Amino acid sequence: MEYTFMDIEDLPLDFAKEILKRRGIVKLNPPQSEAIKKGLLEGKRLVVASPTASGKTLIAELGAVSHLKDGGGKVIYVTPLRALTSEKYSTFKEWEPLGIKVGMTSGEYDSEDNYLKNYDVIVTTYEKLDSLWRHRPAWLEEADYFILDELHYLNDPSRGPVVETVAVRAKRKGMLALSATISNFHEISRWLKAEYIATSWRPVKLVEGVIYPAGKYYSVTFKDGTTKKVKGEDPIEAYTMDSISRGGQVLVFRNSRRNAESTAKSLSLKFKESSELREIASEIEEVEDAGSMEKENLSSLVKRGVAYHHAGLSRGLREIIERGFRERKIKVIVATPTLAAGVNLPARTVIIGDIFRYNRKVTGFREEIPVMEYKQMSGRAGRPGFDSEGEAIIVVRDKRNFERIFEKYMSSDVEPIESKLGAENAFYSFLLGTLSSEGEMTRNALRTYVEETLLSDEIIESKFDNGVDWLKDHNFVIEEDVVKLTEFGKRVADIYVNPFTAVTIKDALKGKPTSCELAYLHILAYTPDSPIVGTSNIDETLLYDVDCKMFLEEPTDELELSLYLSALKIAFIIQDWIEEVDEDAILAKYGIGSGDLRNMVESMDWLTYSGYKLAQVMKEEGHEEILRRLNMRVKDGVKEELVELVQIPGIGRKRARQLWNEGIKSLGDVVMEPDKVKRILGEKIGERTIHEAARILSKGNPS
């Protein structure tokens, strides 16, 4: 296939050329050239599908700046993950010399973010944009060009519904959608009223193959029919060492954290330590947001050029590992598949160590990963500027499965994109969000809006009236001539919780006597918006050490019981956290990672806030006060006496406790006793702490 490259001197955007040249770009690649040819710079609605690292972000940048320079309104760039939001924000900041102001927002759902009225390009997540529409800030009316990144997330069961919700609104304005391959592109482009551009071009050639046991060796059959033999104790080690011997770096994907860690440990034994790597290991040992055991384990591996990477690690640890790999110092990362979607981290060789995963909802059930997920992982193969080709190798441990696996992942199209709004919790949330964003409407008008989704007519027919009636039955909406939100329904929409979460909280608290903190944490952790954790790796007797009345009775159904125990585990973890139990002790006691703890804290910070606001609208003052006080403590993990001190930026639970124990118990004390504060915290941190405390006090009374 012949590809066209456009010289940037032929680009009809003179103001953009200097910035592109500064990046070393002298030609636009085939996907970029095709997008311009199809009307990108004139605001044409496009869906662009091309492989990872093929330059889709630059297409978005050129679409955005041309829109703004032509006098258009605000541009909203939407991503499915916060890590991608930060990455794209940094990229767009490079256009600020042209007078384009770039802002970013994510998290904090119960907010209008009015400061964003001052920005031209706003980078955010799908969830945050959906939340903003529900609040209807005036500045958002100015947004008339939406860039929907990673559109294939429509197929993700958890994130797909909100991606579709945003797309339904965005397709009414100017729009550019970016994606990996879409097999049913005619349907999707027709739905979005856009023209479809598809290309298989990538900057580094991709070589794909399947490795399987063959006697004393492991044999690799590549997509083009060629073969290769490698030798080693197992297929992952064999191909990893082969790639590194040829100057490559390797990303290995395993289907569980345990497998990722054990594989990394095994591979590390093949390498020697170096002074360069000891420096990275020292950085790991100094990370503040991670547990001691995690740092010790990772440090010992990194000294040999190997690391593991998964959501159980803290952000600080993940960032050091990623930087070390980009700088080509770390040679091998063994990761869970979340890395494939969330971080731009190419490698010469990608090894998919497991083509199946366990379904957490069906105990013990194994399922093969979708072709799309394989494409996400294999898309990381090949480092532009370093490699002439990248390799993606699937491991098959039983030769009997070779032909079927080869046919499925080497030859099949990715799965068609289908709506994930059909699940009840997603559909009811969509109805609620639509009424919050659009205002009251007749039942027929609401149905017309639903018909703009990807849902089939049959599903809409079966779900629509039931959905509206369910919202009425649970006091989210009332219907006279029009359907409109109740005060309770509007509050649920604003705080951005699932309607089933709101019902769980309402049913548990309404008219009930108050209870202990653990009971509130448990009910919140039992809602659909809470993470789910495994309980098999700790002594379950820990989970029954309850000395107060819980809001929920223990269920007899096996699935419900597992959710109940998961919620209890989270409740105990957060209770220990707000009682200032040492973080290392929490991680060891409950068998979790620092990243898990941060995720739980973030979720429970939001859920305690949501519970407090729902109790407020329900006029349950006793529950409201307990939840308000809990919310003040969860984010920083402190007893109530430290709430005021941890408002100071840079003062966490440990430093706040140091100050308190020395008699510095308020912001006023910090300002009035500067010498004492500097003695406790050190000159530099103390000076900054005093300045920040004074700034907070100058704005009014501390909360």
User: What is the pLDDT at residue 703?
Assistant: 54
Kind plus residue range of the DSSP H or E element containing 294: helix 292-302
Pick the closest to residue 566 from 511, 521, 512 (CA basis): 521
Q: How confident is the model at residue 363 (pLDDT cuts 50, 70, 90)?
A: very low
Q: What is the largest CA-CA distance in the chain?
A: 77
Q: Is 343 domain-assigned? A: yes
Q: Is 630 among the domain residues?
A: yes
To the nearest 10 degrees (0 to 180), the angle between helices 487-495 and 499-509 is: 120
Annotated binding-site residues read 32
Are 192 and 257 members of one domain?
no
Q: Are residues 348 and 247 in the same domain?
A: yes
pLDDT value at 551 more than 80: yes
Claim to verify: residue 326 and residue 459 sit in the same structural domain: no
Q: How far is CA 361 from CA 366, 558, 593, in A?
A: 11, 11, 22
pLDDT of residue 1: 60
Asked if residue 71 has pLDDT above 60, the reply is yes
Asked which of 177, 198, 219 is the last residue of a domain, the reply is: 198
DSSP assignment of 357-405 equals EEETTSTTEEEEPPHHHHHHHHTTB--TTT-SEEEEEEE-SSGGGHHHH
Amino acid, single-letter form, for residue 174: G
Tell whether 355 and 309 lie within a shared domain. yes
Q: Are residues 393 and 259 in the same domain?
A: yes
**What is the mean predicted confidence (pLDDT) over 352-358?**
90
What is the four-CA torsion angle of 336, 339, 341, 344, rounded to 10 degrees? Answer: -160
Per this entry, what is the length of the chain? 703
Domain contains 258: yes
- Asked if the structure places residue 1 within a domain, the reply is no
267-318: per-residue pLDDT in tens?
999 999 999 999 999 999 999 888 999 999 999 999 999 999 998 999 999 9
Cβ within 8 Å of residue 700, ≥6 positions away: none
pLDDT tens digits for range 392-419: 999 998 888 899 999 999 988 899 999 9
- In this prediction, residue 702 has a pLDDT band, given cuts at 50, 70 and 90, of low
pLDDT of residue 593: 93
CATH of the domain at 452: 1.10.10
Task: Give the number of other CB atoms < 10 A from CB of residue 558.
Answer: 8
Helix (H, G, I), strand (E, B), or coil: what is residue 122? strand
Tokens of 242: 């082969």
User: Both 628 and 644 in a single domain?
Assistant: no
The residue range of the domain holding 546 is: 499-635
- Write out 489-553 in H/E/C secondary structure: HHHHHHHCCCHHHHHHHHHHHCCCCCCCHHHHHHHHHCCCCCCCCCCCCCCHHHHHCCCCCCCCC
Both 193 and 220 in one domain: the answer is no
Query: Nearest 5°: CA angle at 100, between 95 and 102?
Result: 80
Q: Nearest-CA neighbor of 255 among 325, 342, 181, 351? A: 351
Asked if the structure places residue 494 within a domain, the reply is no
Same domain, 383 and 340: yes
Query: How high is the pLDDT of residue 289?
Result: 87
Residue 154: the pLDDT is 95
Which segments are annotated as binding site for ATP? 32
User: Distance between CA 22 and CA 695 in Å, rounded?
Assistant: 40
CATH number for position 528: 1.10.3380.30
Determine which of 28-37, 338-347, 574-583, 594-603 has the lowest per-residue pLDDT on average: 338-347
Residue 561 has pLDDT above 70, yes or no: yes
Tell me: pLDDT of 543 over 90. no
Indicate which CATH number applies to the domain containing 379: 3.40.50.300
pLDDT in tens, 205-254: 999 999 999 988 999 999 999 999 999 989 999 999 999 999 999 999 99
Whether the CA torsion 493, 498, 503, 504 is positive or negative: it is negative
H or E stretch covering 197: strand 195-198
For the chain, what is the domain count? 5
Q: How far apart are the C-alpha atoms of 662 and 676, rounded to whole Å?
A: 9
122 in Cβ contact with 112 (< 8 Å): no
pTM for this predicted structure = 0.92
Q: Report the sign of the C-alpha dihedral through residues 490, 494, 498, 503, in that order.
A: negative
Residue 553 and residue 607 share a domain: yes
